[in-house]
Structure 1
């Protein structure tokens, strides 16, 4: 069974069990869950196709870059929403992830900075979610 199929199955299970049923007792635990979700969404769920196709500065022939970037950031947003149970944190993730990835595709930042910014966003989402859910 491929990694994307397993990841989708896990998220389908998670979706059927809302976040408020989980006892995520600390910001650190929520942050860890968001990091795991990020890794799953940024690697197996993104794959080589979306990774290349989302780059508007080096477009793939016949593939609208905005559809590829949109698909990728919707996956990321869905992960944040599923883990936190807060839809608007997913919307913030969608916006931030799109800006960060587009900035990387433009060549203004490198891979390491891209990942540091994504991790920083997850830390912020964890703090906000704990404050909202407390």
Structure 2
């Protein structure tokens, strides 16, 4: 699958373009496309506080999975790398569970997400090619 980033590796412009595209994807998935239902539903602590029978705490895993699939899919589409998409799904899950558990703040959460985007861009810059 070809990604939106078809510049040759090892070009600084390609790395900046990758970071910019990944940042746009992140902003879209984390804010307008996440929506209130998923934002609330992925946080089991908040669900317990709300005590809404229409949104039992058990739905958190489905909401978290949907949210992380959206992010992983964005990385896959932008980079053309299924492996980076899978890495994003996994790391996004870990980072968001830490935030929903109260172990990190909103700012720490967002900083870690953007550090991941910088790491993916760096990997592409240095010519890393996923086997799939």
TM-score normalised over the length of structure 2: 0.81
RMSD value over aligned CA atoms?
A: 1.9
| Secondary structure, aligned partner of 2:95 | helix
Distance 1:86 1:38, change over 3 A: same
Task: State the alpha-carbon separation in 2 of the partners of residues 110 and 127 from structure 1.
Answer: 26
Task: State the alpha-carbon separation in 1 of the partners of residues 16 and 4 from structure 2.
Answer: 17
Structure 1: gaps spanning 5 or more residues: 1-14
The answer to which structure has the higher helix fraction is 1
Task: State the alpha-carbon separation in 2 of the partners of residues 128 and 66 from structure 1.
Answer: 30
Q: Which stretch shifts more, 56-65 or 122-131?
A: 56-65
Number of the residue aligned with 1:74: 69
1:20 is displaced (CA, Å) by 6.3
Q: Which stretch shifts more, 47-56 or 66-75?
A: 47-56
Larger RCO, structures 1/2 (Cα 8 Å, 6+ apart): 2
| Secondary structure, aligned partner of 1:132 | coil
Matches within 5 A, 1:92-107: 92-107=87-102
| Secondary structure, aligned partner of 1:129 | helix
* Bigger Rg, which one: 2
Task: State the alpha-carbon separation in 1 of the partners of residues 6 and 38 from structure 2.
Answer: 31
Task: State the alpha-carbon separation in 2 of the partners of residues 32 and 21 from structure 1.
Answer: 11
Preserved contact between residue 4 and residue 78 of structure 2 (Cα < 8 Å): no
Equivalent in 66, 70, 78 of residue 83 of structure 1: 78
Structure 2: gaps spanning 5 or more residues: none
Does residue 19 of structure 2 align to residue 31 of structure 1?
A: yes
TM-score normalised over the length of structure 1: 0.79
Number of the residue aligned with 1:12: none
Preserved contact between residue 86 and residue 129 of structure 1 (Cα < 8 Å): no
Number of the residue aligned with 1:3: none
Task: State the alpha-carbon separation in 2 of the partners of residues 76 and 67 from structure 1.
Answer: 14
